Amino acid sequence: MTGKNAAAAVHGMSGETWKRHANPWSVWTRFAAIPAFELAVWSRQWLGWWCLAAVVAVVAWLWLNVRLFEPVEPTGWAARGIYGERLHVDGKVPAEHKTTLNWLIASGLVGFVLIAWGLVALSMWPLTLGTVMVVFAQLWRIDRYGLLFQQHLREQSPDDAI
Average the pLDDT over 152-160 and give the result. 75
Average the pLDDT over 135-153 and give the result. 95
Report the pLDDT value the prediction gives residue 97, as an integer from 0 to 100.
86
Confidence class for position 15, pLDDT limits 50, 70, 90: confident
Is the pLDDT at 11 greater than 50, yes or no? no
Report the pLDDT value the prediction gives residue 109, as an integer from 0 to 100.
97
Instruction: Enumerate the domain spans of the chain.
Output: 3-155
Report the pLDDT value the prediction gives residue 66, as an integer from 0 to 100.
87
pLDDT tens digits along 18-57: 999 999 999 999 999 999 999 999 999 999 999 999 999 9
**How many CB atoms are closer than 10 A to CB 59?**
13
Average the pLDDT over 131-152 and give the result. 96
One-letter amino acid of 123 = S
Q: Could you tell me which of 31, 29, 37, 14 has the C-alpha nearest to residue 69?
A: 29
Report the pLDDT value the prediction gives residue 76, as an integer from 0 to 100.
93
Confirm whether pTM is higher than 0.95. no
pLDDT above 90 covers a percentage of the chain that reads 74
Determine the Cα–Cα distance for residues 21 and 79; give it in Å rounded to an integer: 8
What count of residues does the chain have?
162
| 8 Å CB contact between 16 and 6 | no
